[in-house]
Amino acid sequence: MGIALTTLRKFHGGVHPPEHKNLSEYCAIEELPMPKQLYVPLHQHIGAPCAPCVSAGEKVLKGTVIGQAQGFVSAPVHAPTSGTVIGIKEHASGHPSGLTMLCVEIEPDGEDRWREDLEGITLPMRAEPAAIRDKIRDAGIVGLGGASFPSFIKMSPPKDKEVELLVINGVECEPYLTCDARLMEERGREICAGIEIMLHALQTKRCVIGIEENKPGAIRAMRKVAADYPTITVTPLPVMYPQGSEKQLIEVLTGRQVPSGKLPIDVGVICHNVATAVAIRDAVKLGRPLVSRLVTVTGKGIERTANLEVLMGTPIQHLVDHCGGLKKTVKKLVMGGPMMGVTLTNLDVPVVKGTSGLLAMTAEETVDKPEGPCIRCGHCLQACPISLIPCEMSWLAKHEELDQLQEYDVFDCIECGSCAYVCPSNIPLVHYFRFGKLSIHAQKREDERRELTKRRTQAKEERVAKEKAAKERKKAEMKAKAAARKAAAATAESAKPAEEAPATPAAAAPATADSTTSADPDKAAKVVRAAKAAQAAKAAQAAKAARSVKSTKEPGGGTSSDPDQAAKAARAAKAAKAAKAARAAKAAKAAKAAK
């Protein structure tokens, strides 16, 4: 079923802050003179920052790529004018915490000369959608409504998603800002040309431009131009903040709510800002990258209000000087709108792709009251366009109850500031939400780091255990081999005596006998002489033993009274008797052998 646009609907919540658009809504667009120096940040979008691709002293032309995109969600950065790169260094930025940012510092040569090789698509309506998306990507175009999301990603919906409607955001609901309204009044044809190109690239045929009713001049101008485009419809909308938020605008125009955690394409819608449409037209038809944008300079603290076309990287001080300077009554400087902008403390901060305005506010335009305790009035619940519970979320963020804070869907908060605007206790609710979001991101990064360390430690322990097990297994194998070798040696040793049995004394005796019976007479004589010599030696030993036994007897012919000596004498007598018998036997044997 297609999207119906006949019935307008109101989103939940929202507020009606004073508009203050009368200060600059009649200021025609004027081109800001060239500053003396440009500080072009390499991070002007949501996603990964760019990497510099130029060096100090290098000459560049207008449109030269000075920062290459890194990652899918990223957009290249180009030189805003021709000149010389002075350096690449950290410079003040519009970050809420006052952080610096890596910038390419360029000294203009005054010629403002474009690159000569820039080429557009002559007939974009006959070009392939992929070629158009490539042009948008290479031109570094991001959403100029303030979110700074790379536009080519929005122009590349998933193949399984159908784009039923293209919504062009001309709401400009932030108070004070009028640059989009002036763009619609003065450059309506360029907007419609960009819309035609986007419709062709998205392969859809329906577009609606939403404009709040407090911009009658813009509504008239766009309706006049859109009359020549049957696919484009201009729809006035009731004034309500934050109607310019993407999800709220889609709900008002179509009645479809983008679910939590989902994108507009999930309900069949793609949304772009009117200024983005002009940038896409310039990139596709002329081949020119995004190097400038419109900025509203307004507030009661500035001498002259204006809607300026400003080169990226132009210092805020240059805008202030062009508009006559600040009044003595100025109290606060804000980059962007008063509801979602960033308070500035340094006028050297450069203009970037997301800079829609510069507000010089006096004391009567600002709220300077101390923060009080929450009185549970519930006004913030009624004002929140996402139907969140801001009072509970701020308490959880303040006390760093991060787990519970996520359960309250803090990441669905669009930080529109409606809750803080209606809070009677002046609690800076959005600041607490931003703190909570950053703390949760930091905690997730720390958890990921710990998990990575844990996995690495486990992997190391497993590796050490495997190495230890391998060593023990190898050691056991070596022990087993040693034991096997020892067992084999023992087996061989046990088998050796059986083989060498003839060498034992018991077995040698027959050999001696055999030797005495040898047929060699000389050898037999030698054996006999050796046997006699051995018998003589043994007889001598026996005699000596007998003498020693005799010497141990008592002089009276009795035995010694010492039992040990008596035992020794008995053993000696027994040995002498045995020796005598042995001599007799051997003598008989020798005599027999001699015969």
Q: What is the pLDDT of residue 546?
A: 62
Q: What is the pLDDT of residue 95?
A: 79
Integer Cα distance of 222 and 538 in angstroms = 145
Q: What is the pLDDT of residue 545?
A: 66
Integer Cα distance of 50 and 66 in angstroms = 9
Integer Cα distance of 288 and 81 in angstroms = 12
Q: What is the identity of the amino acid at 321?
A: D
Integer Cα distance of 81 and 20 in angstroms = 33
Q: What is the pLDDT of residue 4?
A: 63
CB-based contacts of 59, cutoff 8 Å, min separation 6: 82, 83, 84, 85
Name the pairing type of β-strands 292-298 and 357-362.
Answer: parallel
Q: What is the pLDDT of residue 515?
A: 44
Q: Environment class of residue 416 by beta-carbon count within 10 Å: exposed (0-12), middle (13-18) or buried (19+)?
A: buried
Locate 184 and state its tokens.
């619609």
Residue labelled with tokens 């486990």: 458
Alpha helices in 423-520 (DSSP H): 429-499, 505-516
Task: Give 310's DSSP letter.
Answer: E
E strands along 286-329, which residues? 292-298, 306-311
- Sheet hosting strand 165-169, strand order edge to edge: 232-237, 207-212, 165-169, 269-273
50-104 per-position pLDDT tens digit:
999 999 999 999 999 999 998 888 999 999 999 999 999 999 888 777 788 999 9
Q: What is the pLDDT of residue 570?
A: 74
Q: What is the pLDDT of residue 1?
A: 52
Q: What is the pLDDT of residue 558?
A: 44
pTM (predicted TM-score): 0.76
216-260 per-position pLDDT tens digit:
999 999 999 999 999 999 999 999 999 999 999 999 999 888 998
Residue stretches of the chain with pLDDT short of 50: 499-518, 552-561
Report the residue count for the chain: 595
Residue among 155, 149, 166 at smallest CA distance from 127: 155
Q: What is the pLDDT of residue 497?
A: 58
Q: What is the pLDDT of residue 506?
A: 43
Q: Determine if the peptide bond prior to 385 is cis (ω within 30°).
A: no
Q: What is the pLDDT of residue 498?
A: 52
Residue among 401, 462, 398 at smallest CA distance from 433: 398
98-149 per-position pLDDT tens digit:
788 999 999 999 999 999 999 999 999 999 999 999 999 999 999 998 778 9
Report the SS3 class of residue 323.
coil
* Contact criterion met (CB below 8 Å) for 187 and 294: no
Q: What is the pLDDT of residue 590?
A: 73
What DSSP string runs through 232-277? Answer: EEEEEE---BTTTSHHHHHHHHHSPPPPTT--GGGGTEEEEEHHHH
